[in-house]
Structure 1
Amino acid sequence: MSPSRPAAPAAADATALPIPVLDLEGALVPNGPRSAEVARQLRAAAMSSGFFYVRNHAVDAELVARQFALARTLLDLPAATREALSMRHSPTMRGFENLGEQTLDAAARPDLKESFYCGMAYPPDHPYVQAGYQTYGHNQWPAELPAAPAQCERYIRTMLALSQRLMQLMALSLGLSEHYFDHTAESPMVTLRMVRYPAHPTGADERTFGAGAHTDWGALTILAQDAHGGLEVCMPDGSWVAATPVPGCFVVNLGDMIPRWTNGLYHSNPHRVRNLHSGGAPRYSIPFFYEPDYLARIEPVPGTVPAGETPRHAACTAGEHLSEMYRKTYGLKAAAAAA
């Protein structure tokens, strides 16, 4: 698929965006006065591109700003520190990722991005840590930044609460109890990633991306992005549109577990990144990936498989699905073994 160059982002008018904006005011707690209305909007977005913005989400802007500051500091650490804490050395896939280490689109060149991964700090005696399940275990932290673990833990806990509320609204959007998915979040797999994209190379060919076209692997992604833009979303008609940064909003997209859970009713659409509009500056983004409990069963929810028909997707556990995705894009034997 040949990429087309989108227009440079301008000050976003939420009413003119091709991706809908969901206002969560009055819908942030179960039985909130606007929960049903927001659930209807979520359903429409999920049946289209699987992307939407959220505003009035109750996440402190200062917390997000501190996380961006930490991202810049982490990714400016010396090469020797970053190599010592490379995710290649971590059975839980935590730590630094260098430029070109991941290829999200198999038909494209290696991704032009570098990042730092961390996740929930489950204790060593947690049964999933003891079992060696993918993503459960310790983080790798640079000694130069002693405040980093606590800062990331605050951000993770805040994003986890928002993710779990969005899953409740999703359940409501499917005609289910708001609490239908609650039992799948007992020991969730969550990953926080801080990413830096260099400016798009001058004269780059059509196979060069900061992040190649891909769908996300889990249930939900909540993205904080800087003002430069660069995220592009494939719409149902095959066109690519810019997910222009909107002040005070996160971009949310559905991952591949959601089509499995909804028998294809809800979509996980491809997206990609090209840092075209930063004037040569790096682009930073902070995606938070929410996946349910490793052993949560992913199979169609009630009402999504017509009578007499076979489900479109084979049932699996969340952990099986996620481990296979890691293996495909990183070529990691460890991920396959953990499944």
Structure 2
Amino acid sequence: MGIPVIDLSGAGTPGSPRTAEVARALREACTTSGFFYLVGHGVPDEQVRAQFELTRQLFELPPERREALSVRHSPSMRGFETLGEQTLDAEARPDMKESFYCGMAYPDDHPYVRAGYQGYGHNQWPAELPHAPAQCEAYIQTMLALCRRLMQLLAVSLGLDEHHFDGSDANPLVTLRMLRYPPHPADADERSFGAGAHTDWGAITVLAQDAHGGLEVRMPDGQWVAATPLAGSFVINLGDMIPRWTNDLYRSNPHRVRNLHSGGRARYSVPFFYDPDYLTRIEPLPGTVPEGEVPRHEPCTAGEHLRDMYLKTYGLKAAA
């Protein structure tokens, strides 16, 4: 079993002629690997290349400048994260990767910012890269439109109205993350990863990866397969919110990163994490709980689900 390729051509807008065909392919991918390559998505190559160039520029900044913009200084978890600051696999060593986080900027008087909901608020930007805010905002809007369309196709794949999820992201919680993985150490042991085995937390992840590869996906049979870079594609995967929303009909499979194939160079990737409105109710969708059975998960809000995952992966405890 490999990672399927889904062509969005002819299904990019509501009512498109290939909507049903693409929804069927999506259902097959979501009930097996939870991963697929997406081609025909319409995102300009130039926009993706520019995002990779910005990623390199961010990590060329001096360490003291990156420290000044650390996520530790940001209530909304925006800014730089250093090597070893996150451990995605509790059984592995700290992740060998550096990150820069940004997202949609919500004003101080927004109700979610005033309420202190995690992920809502301001970005931190380095003054040395004045083009970064507008460029990232444009990329976020492009990815947001793509994810909204994928959610429509997910609805069709589940036998729901194409617009079932349209009202769930009035205030979407989205994160754009730019990543740098140093070369995998020659003396690394079996517990060393760029990113340890994990599932993503939210709804949909759209990954742009460079030509070096390194992403590996665990298939339902337990085998790890390489998500070999495919020119012009994104790698799409479901996060844990979708299984919770579909009563485990759709899958969020584990994946990991090892920068083994770059010839001693850094690996860069640009994942975009899409989640609905913080207060969106996450409970089994119509038709996903077999008759006579009870739901497998307790209902919650999107924000509650993400908060619990954040506390778990960073080894923190919820405030009393």
Q: Is 1:309 matched with 2:293?
A: yes
Distance 2:186 2:47 in 1: 35
2:152 is matched with which residue? Answer: 168
The equivalent of 1:281 in structure 2 is 265
Of residues 155, 166, 171 in structure 1, which corresponds to 2:139? Answer: 155
Q: Residue deviations 1:89-146, cap 9 Å, x none?
A: 1111100000000000000000000010000011222111111101000000111111
Structure 1 residues 74-83 or 36-45, which shifts more?
A: 74-83
User: Pairwise mapping of residues 143-292 of structure 1 onto structure 2 (< 5 A)?
Assistant: 143-292=127-276
Cα distance in 2 for residues equivalent to 1:328 and 1:96: 20
**Which runs of 4 or more aligned residues in structure 1 lie more than 4 Å from their structure 2 counterparts after TM superposition?**
none
The 5-angstrom pairing of residues 1-339 of structure 1 reads 18-332=2-316, 336-337=318-319
Aligned to 1:8: none
Secondary structure of 1:321's aligned partner: helix
Q: Aligned equivalents of 1:246 and 1:33: distance in 2? A: 25
Quick one: percent identity of the two aligned structures? 74
Q: Give SS of 1:281's match.
A: coil
Q: What is the RMSD of the two structures over their aligned residues, measured on CA atoms?
A: 1.1
In the alignment, the residues of structure 2 paired with residue 327 and residue 89 of structure 1 have an alpha-carbon distance, to the nearest angstrom, of: 17
For residue 289 of structure 1, what is the amino acid of its counterpart? F
- Residue 114 of structure 1 aligns with an amino acid whose one-letter code is E
Amino acid aligned to 2:79 = G
1:308: how far off? Answer: 2.0
Q: TM-score by structure 2 length? A: 0.98
Q: Which moved more, 1:118-127 or 1:156-165?
A: 118-127
Segments of structure 2 that go 5 or more residues without pairing to the other structure are none
Once the two structures are superposed, residues 194-220 of structure 1 have per-residue CA deviations (whole angstroms, 9 ceiling, x without a partner) of 000011110211000000000000000
Q: Deviations over 1:29-63 (max 9, x none)?
A: 00100000000000000000100011110101101
One-letter code aligned to 1:312: R
Supply the AA of the counterpart residue of 1:203: D
* Matched pairs, number: 320
How far 1:332 sits from its partner (Å)?
Answer: 4.4
Deviates more, 1:70-79 or 1:119-128: 119-128
What is the deviation of 1:178?
A: 0.7
Task: Render the CA deviation track for 1:279-321: whole Å, top value 9, x for unaligned.
Answer: 0000000000001100001000000001221101111100001
5+ unaligned residues in a row in structure 1: which ranges? Answer: 1-16
Partner SS for 1:290: strand
In the other structure, the counterpart of 1:6 is none
Structure 1 Cα separation of the partners of residues 309 and 89 of structure 2:
12
What do residues 224-260 of structure 1 show as CA deviations (whole Å, max 9, x unaligned)?
0000000000000000000000000000000000001
